[in-house]
Chain A
Amino acid sequence: MPIEIKMPALSPTMEEGTLAKWLVKVGDKVSSGDIMAEIETDKATMEFEAVDEGTIVAIAVPEGAEGVKVGTVIATLAGDDEAAPAPAPVPKAAAPAPKAEAAPAPVAAPAAPAVVAPRAAGEDRVIASPLAKRMAGQLGVDLGKLSGSGPNGRIVKADVEAAAGGVVTPVAAPAAPAAAPVATAPAAVPDFGIPYEAEKLNNVRKTIARRLTEAKQTIPHIYLTVDVRLDALLKLRGDLNKALEAQGVKLSVNDLVIKALAKALEIVPKCNVSFAGDELRKYSRSDISVAVAAPSGLITPIIVDAGNKTVSQISREMTALAAKAREGKLQPHEYQGGTASLSNLGMYGIKQFDAVINPPQAMIMAVGAGEKRPFVVDDALAVATVMSATGSFDHRAIDGADGAALMQAFKNLIENPLGLVA
């Protein structure tokens, strides 16, 4: 029997993906574990392995096809024992690429596909009504974050509407047309005849757009800035790097800052939280999401339990994660989660900036460049290496004084850096 290979669900919330690249062609023999294709989800590109042995007899979805629903048959494999039939032509036109007109796209597949994605197992699928799924897509609501009010927690239309900030069903005879609509998609951009080249948004860019809009619109941010002397930390870093040279470890300032943030969150646990509607989640571990500029857009790989890792461990992990991020090869568990974020633009000479919170987290630390500044030391003007750091806090969950306590703890750890290696 020919085996149908279906679009896998590579993360619990994935409903569709882009078939970025085929690494096999019709007629190729594959065996379990062979990488057949690269699939781009909303966050990353993942490798898709074969679990069966056989010969590829048909490829149903061409390379580059976007919006391929989970469960769609993307290729057909003939078992080894059968005579491989004549390869079927690649039906380019049959690909379920989004059509220009409003033709309805078939909604998500009934069950998890037989083909196993790397490390996607063990995660529950989102239970939602078809209408809720479609409206979530239209309104930019992340179903993975909703709890459903339907039978057995099924997410229904009303839940999506509530999450989108109110009932979306049209109301008869709107009295005030001036009322600003809840912006979920930007209005059409006027064309002033300025020459431009239109580049289609990739999934990472779409996700960034949606999440940052959601964050800025729904989270009341407060910003707290401190100036931190770096001299002691720079000296410690130099000493440590000499000692670690033999092990091939070279600590960056950022590695130490990750550790400092994680430790500060442990000292001030009121800032290591998530605002979750009717409850506050207080985390007992500091997982730091570190912003990395990747070619496809910003992504935030996570150093899990950074507070309890040695700085050399953090450094090694960060080097590996950053490399994967730049290649678009991060696995979902490597970038989904985190309890607080760190964004560092110091290498660009940025003095100070305010970052946007990465929901459902409640704080992000924005770190500027360490630079020599005139600084008052013991009532006398001196030169010191100083860095400005600004914490953005979700004011629904964190009071100003608690945010300030975190900034103070962070500053103390950096200025007295032996605490980071103790």
Chain B
Amino acid sequence: MADQYDVIVLGSGPGGYVAAIRCAQLGLKTAIVERENLGGICLNWGCIPTKALLRSAEVLHNMKHAAAYGLAADNIRADLEAVVKRSRGVAKQLNQGVTHLMKKNKIAVHMGTGVLKGAGKLEVTSDKGTETLTAKHIIVATGARARDLPFAPADGKRVWTYRHAMVPQELPSKLLVIGSGAIGIEFSSFYNDMGSEVTVVEMMDRIVPVEDADVSAFLEKALVKQGMTIMTGAGVEKIDVTASGVKAAIKGKDGKVVTSDFSHVIVAVGIVPNTENIGLETLGIKAERGIIAIDDYGRTNVPGVWAIGDVTPGPWLAHKASHEGVIAAESIARELGNKEVHPHAMDRRNIPGCTYCHPQVASVGLTEAKAKEAGYTVKAGTFPFIGNGKAIALGEPEGFIKTVFDAKTGELLGAHMVGAEVTELIQGYVVGKTLETTEAELMATVFPHPTLSEMMHESVLAAYGRALHI
């Protein structure tokens, strides 16, 4: 029997739906299987709705500081219900957008839970029944979910994951956030701006531990100044849910355990891939602790089965998933005989990361410490927001941009930013890194004035002792 499809994509998050579109663009007969919402976590319960929440928090923050801009605003208050409603509306709009994209690209959408049943065979179960789909290739893009604390499973009432934190019924009066990665810090920032009293507990010795140490230190200072309590080198030992909130036993840096009361807890201690019960074992697909092993193009150890996004080794980011989706789609098209496509291998050195707290954090490549660890002789430059005209005019004079170069070849190894709008700036360095520019091209680039991007230029100049405005 002939296969129904060339490709079936299991999961419709930013990895899966982008892979499906690229497959369709390349003329492959494509189906996508989704158990919940088209668009997956990212645009229904992740990246996008949190940005909507954070935008509300930012507007609120600016209104509260209106006087600094010569404006007056009285009686400022946040309507939490309306804020959440707006966020849900944004998610809904984008969800419909993906539905439209599937239709436009003639991708067959099968709603239901998919399980691999053999080579090229996928069983989809929904409340309408069970059907078996067949295809030459299957892309696994089932994503990930929040990791639970074993002693404090999320209940949605007092103990929240990101998902509960996205649709609060009430504003937590005293919030404990466990974990200071991007998710933990973004919710900390949102609730702090909204008026909650926020405590962040991080096991590592600094917050946002994947970022450059200078960025972590700067951000910690800024958040403490905004009123947060930050405990690094600390761990939550125990959580007791009470009628009015939770009692958390927190072991501090000094080793002493202190029990405090909170109204709510957000658990943001990482994610686990959704790779159980999808039939990986049936086909003998290699995975370690649930993370599927792939080559640079998304191939698993089983021919015809591919994996992309959060089920594969990190970083666990939507844009990494989308990019892997495109690479896998093109690789499949090539295997099916299309010699016009030339998929490129995933280059993990050039994947940017963004955290939308206030101030924002953005980075790409190696931190200064990691570059030195890797054996490079490093040239690093830093330029502060206070030296930039646009930052001062915006009333955002806090932050900096740091660049790290290989002293020998001038290769841009990494860039690290903290401050207003840096998530929109980082792509400049990502383009540079992807094109393998050296400091010379970056120095020779004309940056528009007045913009925050001028700091990107100055940071490069600073690495070579040539910064102009400091």
Contact = CB atoms under 8 A, between A and B. Distances in A.
Interface of A: 102-107, 129-132, 134-135, 138, 151, 156-157, 169-174
A131 B409 contact: yes
Interface string B355-377: 00000000000000000011110
Given A130-B436, A169-B375, 4 more contacts: A130-B435, A169-B376, A170-B375, A172-B375
Contacts of A107: 438, 440-441
A95 to B, nearest CB: 18
A151 B342 contact: yes
Given A138-B409, A151-B344, A104 B438 contact: yes
A151 B342 CA distance: 8
28 contacts: A103-B464, A104-B439, A105-B440, A107-B438, A107-B440, A107-B441, A129-B437, A130-B435, A130-B437, A130-B440, A131-B409, A131-B410, A131-B436, A131-B437, A132-B436, A134-B410, A134-B438, A151-B344, A156-B436, A157-B411, A157-B436, A169-B374, A169-B376, A170-B374, A170-B376, A171-B375, A172-B373, A174-B375
Contacts of A169: 374-376
B449 interface: no
Nearest to B412: A131
Given A104-B438, A107-B438, A107-B441, A134 B374 contact: no
Contacts of B407: 102
A132 B344 CA distance: 18
Contacts of A106: 440, 444
B150 to A, nearest CB: 34
Nearest to B345: A149
Contact of B411 (A102, A131, A171, A172): A131
Given A106-B444, A170-B376, A172-B374, A134 B409 contact: yes
Nearest to A102: B407
Contacts of A132: 436
A49 to B, nearest CB: 29
B432 to A, nearest CB: 10
B408 interface: yes
A123 to B, nearest CB: 24
Interface centre among B344, B436, B443 (most CB of A within 10 A): B436
B436 A129 contact: yes
A282 to B, nearest CB: 26
Contacts of B373: 172
Contacts of A135: 409
A389 B149 CA distance: 81
A170 B372 CA distance: 10
Interface in B396-436: 407-411, 435-436
> Chain B interface: which size bin?
20 to 34
Contacts of A174: 375
Contacts of A173: 375
Nearest to B377: A170
Interface string B373-387: 111100000000000
Nearest to A152: B342
A169 to B, nearest CB: 7
A257 B440 CA distance: 51
Nearest to B407: A102
A173 B374 CA distance: 8
A151 B376 CA distance: 27
B459 to A, nearest CB: 15
A158 to B, nearest CB: 10
B347 to A, nearest CB: 10
Interface centre among B376, B410, B435, B437 (most CB of A within 10 A): B410
Interface string B94-135: 000000000000000000000000000000000000000000
B289 to A, nearest CB: 25
Contact of B464 (A104, A134, A151): A104
A130 B435 CA distance: 8
B377 to A, nearest CB: 8
A132 B435 CA distance: 10
A104 B440 contact: yes
A172 to B, nearest CB: 5
Given A104-B410, A157-B411, A131 B375 contact: no
A157 B433 CA distance: 11
A176 to B, nearest CB: 14
Contacts of A171: 374-375
Interface centre among A106, A130, A138 (most CB of B within 10 A): A130
Contact of B438 (A102, A131, A151, A172): A131
B375 to A, nearest CB: 3
A138 B408 contact: yes
A157 B436 CA distance: 8
Contacts of A104: 410, 438-440, 443, 464
Contacts of B437: 129-131
A130 B438 contact: yes
Contacts of A102: 407
A17 B407 CA distance: 25
A103 B407 CA distance: 11
A104 B376 CA distance: 18
Contact of B435 (A129, A134, A138, A170): A129
Nearest to A128: B436
Nearest to B441: A130
A174 B437 CA distance: 28
Contacts of A170: 374-376
A129 B440 CA distance: 12
A138 to B, nearest CB: 7
A192 to B, nearest CB: 30
A378 B401 CA distance: 88
A156 B254 CA distance: 50
Nearest to B432: A130
B61 to A, nearest CB: 41
A171 B373 CA distance: 9
Q: Closest 9 A-B residue pairs measured CB to CB? A: A170-B375, A129-B436, A131-B436, A107-B440, A130-B438, A104-B440, A130-B437, A131-B411, A130-B441
B399 to A, nearest CB: 27
B402 to A, nearest CB: 19
B340 to A, nearest CB: 13
Contacts of B464: 103-104
A313 B440 CA distance: 50
A138 B373 CA distance: 23
Contacts of A156: 436
Contacts of B443: 104
A169 B373 CA distance: 12
Nearest to A129: B436
B49 to A, nearest CB: 35
A361 B375 CA distance: 38
A185 to B, nearest CB: 13
B42 to A, nearest CB: 27
A243 to B, nearest CB: 60
Interface centre among B407, B435, B438, B464 (most CB of A within 10 A): B438
B463 to A, nearest CB: 10
Nearest to A106: B440
A107 B443 CA distance: 11
A107 B409 CA distance: 12
A151 B443 CA distance: 24
Nearest to B435: A129
Nearest to B439: A104
Contacts of B436: 129-132, 156-157
A156 B436 CA distance: 7
B407 to A, nearest CB: 8
Contacts of B376: 169-170
A129 B464 CA distance: 21
A129 B347 CA distance: 16
Contacts of A157: 411, 436
A174 B376 CA distance: 12
A134 B436 CA distance: 11
